[in-house]
């Protein structure tokens, strides 16, 4: 255990600091100058956007250089995992275009600063002034969002705006048109292994709200050991309209991402299907050549239809079904055929045995397929969907485009989670060790689980060093089981910390937090909430790389915020607004989880380990003080604030993380504590964003963040079932309820169609 960790590297830590610092700065791109330039609130919006673009471009170059350089000396684990940081990172950073300009910013300045912030600033005299004497934009900005429903019916947008936005925000200028550069530049899309050529972009692009960064800056809140609540400020925008739509279910809770959008299955009736047009398309790959005849685009004809950029399920269903209809009437060229005899083939497949011998879901699957037949009938009801969905069995056959799980040798079971069983396996062809996550279907009477579809969709789309890489999707030989093939990671942080005798050092925590924040920023920049960030969902390999996994609860969000289920995020990491029943929430819920994770990494103990929701709130209030309307405007209107909570007047967090300690408590510098406080700020609109957290001074002070190369290595625990080691698994009495609620929004076998849209893009690109 922890052999590498305690194997003498600490002695060199001071010496390493300087080089670590350089490396970290280069790796993560936290040059102070860049930060100042990027965050200079004085600059005009356009200038700032350009500047941010330059900064990011510079980051990309620097990161590429770094990733190509210092990591090469790293020892490789037995995983054989591809890592792929260097090449991948380029795709993870998006060029900034004019779409970054946010109309919301124009009116958001009207929000008054919370008086408690002033108090906090006066008290601490830090964290707000930048070194160059300029004032951090955090001082002035409220959390704000881009209204991204640009292309939705104007009427609808304005109605929504009226009902959901504060008076200040109703006076927002209309959102800008989608810039031409964006429309025509698929390079601006952070692609994964899914390389979307311009020619592959169909008009499902309309469902893609990506790249419109939710420029959600936040302010400090006074949560130090001081009386809580000193002044008032206007109600945050996001909570004003909560009462109207909180009863809505999450049935529209589907997260379309670019791989659906880019799927040529997802065209509408207006799409060019004419072969002549198609023949203009560049056929740069074999597959493209094969499919040229049935492609549905014309190069350069990428347009922005008059539809919403919000991830609306109905649109996806319509698009998906329409696209599928079109495809089904086409020729069957290529390896991804739609066969009319699909049912026969499916039955034949069912007779084969899966070499993994882990699939016992045939009956359920049959049930889901038959169910799906009826489900598809529902599509007739949609006025916008005159034709029925493609029969689900056709979709099933499309899975034949996937490799079989037989091509992997199972090594051992790693873990079994709520939504899947994870195996360690070896690719028989390449010898690469991978993780196979088998989608759990046994409880699914409604067809392919939406949670898994979301996860597959997001993970296939996203490519970032801090997001676990899904290489492909493979199927059981009966086509009734689906596996995600992921890069194998030796540890998850929860299991790892349980085996460690001492917590991570501050410089190690900084290294981990930087990676985590990079991942969170990437997600939030792409309008995705993870909604289940916790230490067991953070994977670590023996190259010091941290990666976020488990996107089963993640979803894409848009503006205006819609009511979502509050039953997300494992209890211990759940933000107070969720615990108090808020149904409109945003990226701040992930940031709270990150605060809990940061504290846990420092102390090796969960920060708030409640047993019930009430207990969880109680634990939070005891440590941070009971919130009130003054420090958290809107607090008293949250559905859960009916109970009279005990009023804890003081924030005692500093006692848990003192600056110096003789009792073994984890020490934390003032800057570190400031960051922790900002992550654990009650008012979500003031909670720090991932971007601002990345630029926090804690990461620039000694001890500097450890370079990934110098992170400790730990013996791989792949021989054991991690589940067995999880004695302290976070309890969540509402887990079952949460799953049920999420399943209510599931679309049954229709999801198979969506899955295939996802897979098709992956396979073909």
Ligand X SMILES: Nc1ncnc2c1ncn2[C@@H]1O[C@H](COP(=O)(O)OP(=O)(O)OP(=O)(O)O)[C@@H](O)[C@H]1O
Q: Which stretch binds ligand X (CB under 6 A): 471-479, 545-553, 664-672, 687-695?
A: 545-553
CB atoms within 10 A of CB 106: 16
Closer to ligand X by CB, 84 or 417: give it: 417
| Min separation Cβ 508 and ligand X, Å | 20
User: Taking CB under 6 A as the rule, does residue 435 contact ligand X?
Assistant: yes
| Min separation Cβ 385 and ligand X, Å | 32
Per the DSSP assignment, residues forming a β-bridge with 501 are: none
* Count of residues that bind ligand X according to CB under 6 A: 22
Q: Which stretch binds ligand X (CB under 6 A): 284-292, 304-312, 342-350, 536-544?
A: 536-544
Q: What whole-number distance in Å separates Cα of residue 455 and Cα of residue 461?
A: 10
Residue written as tokens 């937090």?
513
Would you please indicate which residues are annotated as catalytic (active-site) residues?
A: 532
Residue written as tokens 């991830």?
311
Q: What whole-number distance in Å separates Cα of residue 708 and Cα of residue 544?
A: 5
Binding residue for ligand X, selected from 31, 188, 536, 685, defined by CB under 6 A: 536
Q: What whole-number distance in Å separates Cα of residue 165 and Cα of residue 157?
A: 11
| Min separation Cβ 130 and ligand X, Å | 39
Q: What whole-number distance in Å separates Cα of residue 690 and Cα of residue 525?
A: 9
CB atoms within 10 A of CB 96: 21
Binding residue for ligand X, selected from 21, 419, 423, 573, defined by CB under 6 A: 419
Q: What whole-number distance in Å separates Cα of residue 726 and Cα of residue 722?
A: 6
Per the DSSP assignment, residues forming a β-bridge with 486 are: 435, 470
Give the list of residues 6+ apart from residue 15 with CB closer than 8 angstroms, or none.
Answer: none
Q: Which stretch binds ligand X (CB under 6 A): 17-25, 137-145, 410-418, 650-658?
A: 410-418
Closer to ligand X by CB, 466 or 651: give it: 466
The encoded tokens of residue 359 equal 């699939």
User: Taking CB under 6 A as the rule, does residue 739 contact ligand X?
Assistant: no
Q: What whole-number distance in Å separates Cα of residue 469 and Cα of residue 533?
A: 17
Within positions 626 to 685, which residues make up the interface with ligand X, using CB under 6 A?
none
Task: Please report how the helices 506-525 and 588-603 are oriented relative to each other, as an axis angle in degrees rounded to 10.
Answer: 170
| Min separation Cβ 388 and ligand X, Å | 33
Binding residue for ligand X, selected from 148, 316, 549, 680, defined by CB under 6 A: 549
3-state helix/strand/coil string of 181-193 = HHHHCHHHCCCCC
Q: Looking at residue 198, what DSSP letter applies?
A: G
DSSP string, 311-357: --HHHHHHHHHHHHHHHHTS---SSS---TTHHHHHHHHHHSPPTT-
Closer to ligand X by CB, 534 or 708: give it: 534
Closer to ligand X by CB, 352 or 729: give it: 729
User: Taking CB under 6 A as the rule, does residue 82 contact ligand X?
Assistant: no
User: Which string of x and - marks every residue 467-506 that binds ligand X (by CB under 6 A)?
Assistant: -x-----------------xxxx--x--------------
Closer to ligand X by CB, 101 or 413: give it: 413
User: Taking CB under 6 A as the rule, does residue 417 contact ligand X?
Assistant: yes
User: Taking CB under 6 A as the rule, does residue 237 contact ligand X?
Assistant: no
Closer to ligand X by CB, 396 or 489: give it: 489
Q: Which stretch binds ligand X (CB under 6 A): 419-427, 583-591, 614-622, 681-689?
A: 419-427
Find the radius of gyration of the CA atoms of the chain. 25
| Min separation Cβ 728 and ligand X, Å | 13
Q: What whole-number distance in Å separates Cα of residue 754 and Cα of residue 706?
A: 42
Residue nearest to ligand X (CB): 417
Q: Which stretch binds ligand X (CB under 6 A): 106-114, 267-275, 377-385, 548-556?
A: 548-556
Closer to ligand X by CB, 214 or 552: give it: 552
Q: What whole-number distance in Å separates Cα of residue 349 and Cα of residue 357?
A: 15
Within positions 343 to 402, which residues make up the interface with ligand X, using CB under 6 A?
none
Q: What whole-number distance in Å separates Cα of residue 414 and Cα of residue 720?
A: 7
| Min separation Cβ 545 and ligand X, Å | 12
Closer to ligand X by CB, 486 or 509: give it: 486
E strand or H helix at 155: helix 154-164
Write out the residues near ligand X by the rule CB under 6 A.
Answer: 414-415, 417-420, 422, 435, 437, 468, 486-489, 492, 536-537, 539, 549-550, 552, 722
């Amino acid at each position: 255990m922890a052999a590498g960790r305690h194997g003498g590297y600490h002695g060199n830590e001071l010496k390493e600091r300087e080089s670590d610092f350089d490396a970290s700065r280069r790796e993560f791109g936290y040059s102070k100058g860049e930060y100042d330039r990027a965050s200079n609130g004085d600059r005009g919006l356009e200038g700032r956007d350009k500047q941010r673009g330059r900064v990011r471009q510079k980051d990309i170059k620097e990161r590429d250089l770094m990733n190509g350089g210092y990591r090469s000396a790293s020892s490789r684990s037995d995983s054989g995992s591809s890592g792929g940081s260097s090449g991948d990172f380029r795709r993870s950073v998006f060029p900034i275009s004019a779409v970054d300009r946010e109309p919301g910013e124009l009116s958001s300045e009207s929000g008054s600063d919370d008086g408690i912030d002033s108090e906090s600033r006066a008290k601490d005299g830090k964290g707000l002034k930048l070194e160059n004497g300029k004032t951090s934009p955090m001082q002035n900005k409220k959390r704000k969002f881009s209204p991204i429903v640009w292309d939705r019916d104007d009427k609808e947008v304005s109605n929504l705006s009226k009902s959901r936005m504060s008076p200040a925000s109703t006076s927002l200028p209309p959102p800008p048109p989608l810039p031409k550069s964006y429309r025509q530049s698929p390079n601006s899309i952070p692609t994964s292994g899914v390389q979307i050529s311009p020619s592959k972009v169909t008009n499902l692009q309309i469902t893609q709200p990506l790249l419109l960064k939710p420029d959600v800056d936040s302010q400090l809140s006074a949560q130090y050991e001081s009386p809580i609540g000193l002044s008032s400020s206007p109600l945050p925008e996001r909570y004003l309209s909560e009462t109207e739509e909180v009863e809505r279910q999450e049935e529209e809770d589907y997260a379309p991402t670019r791989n659906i959008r880019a799927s040529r299955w997802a065209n509408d009736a207006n799409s060019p299907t004419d072969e002549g047009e198609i023949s203009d398309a560049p056929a740069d790959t074999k597959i493209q050549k094969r499919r040229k005849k049935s492609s549905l685009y014309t190069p350069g004809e990428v347009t922005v239809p008059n539809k919403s950029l919000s991830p609306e399920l109905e649109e996806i269903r319509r698009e998906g079904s329409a696209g599928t209809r079109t495809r089904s009437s086409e020729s069957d060229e290529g390896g991804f055929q739609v066969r009319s005899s699909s049912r026969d083939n499916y039955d034949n497949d069912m007779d084969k045995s899966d070499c993994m011998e882990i699939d016992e879901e045939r009956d359920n699957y049959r049930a889901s397929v038959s169910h799906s037949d009826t489900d598809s009938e529902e599509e007739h009801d949609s006025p916008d969907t005159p034709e029925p969905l493609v029969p689900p069995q056709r979709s099933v056959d499309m899975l034949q485009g996937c490799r079989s799980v037989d091509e992997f040798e199972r090594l051992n079971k790693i873990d079994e989670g709520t939504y899947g069983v994870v195996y360690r396996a070896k690719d028989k062809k390449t010898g690469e060790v991978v993780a196979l996550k088998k989608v759990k279907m046994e409880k699914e009477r409604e067809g392919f689980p939406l949670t898994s579809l979301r996860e597959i969709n997001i993970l296939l789309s996203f490519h970032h060093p801090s997001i676990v890489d899904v290489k492909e999707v493979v199927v059981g030989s009966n086509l009734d089981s689906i596996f995600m093939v992921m890069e194998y990671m030796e540890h998850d942080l929860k299991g790892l910390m349980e085996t460690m005798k001492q917590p991570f050092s501050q410089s190690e925590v900084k290294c981990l937090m930087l990676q985590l924040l990079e991942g969170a920023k990437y997600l939030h920049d792409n309008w995705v909430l993870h909604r289940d960030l916790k230490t067991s969902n953070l994977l670590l390999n023996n190259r010091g790389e941290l990666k976020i996994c488990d996107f089963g609860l993640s979803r894409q969000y848009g503006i205006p915020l819609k009511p979502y289920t509050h039953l997300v995020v494992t209890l211990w990491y759940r933000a107070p607004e969720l615990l108090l029943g808020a149904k409109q929430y945003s990226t701040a819920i992930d940031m709270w989880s990150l605060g809990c994770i940061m504290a846990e990494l420092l102390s090796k103990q969960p920060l708030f380990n409640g047993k019930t929701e009430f207990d969880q709130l109680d634990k939070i209030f005891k440590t941070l003080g009971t919130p009130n309307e003054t420090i958290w405007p809107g607090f008293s209107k949250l559905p859960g604030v009916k109970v009279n909570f005990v009023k804890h007047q003081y924030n005692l967090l500093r006692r848990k993380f003192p600056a110096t300690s003789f009792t073994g408590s984890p020490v934390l510098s003032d800057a570190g504590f400031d960051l922790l406080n900002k992550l654990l700020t009650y008012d979500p609109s003031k909670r720090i964003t991932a971007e601002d957290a990345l630029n926090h001074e804690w990461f620039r002070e000694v001890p500097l963040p450890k370079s990934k190369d110098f992170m400790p290595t730990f013996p791989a625990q792949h021989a054991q079932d991690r589940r067995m080691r999880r004695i302290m698994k976070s309890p969540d009495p509402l887990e079952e309820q949460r799953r049920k609620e999420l399943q209510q929004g599931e679309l049954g076998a229709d999801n198979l169609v969506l899955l295939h849209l996802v897979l098709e893009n992956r396979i073909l690109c």
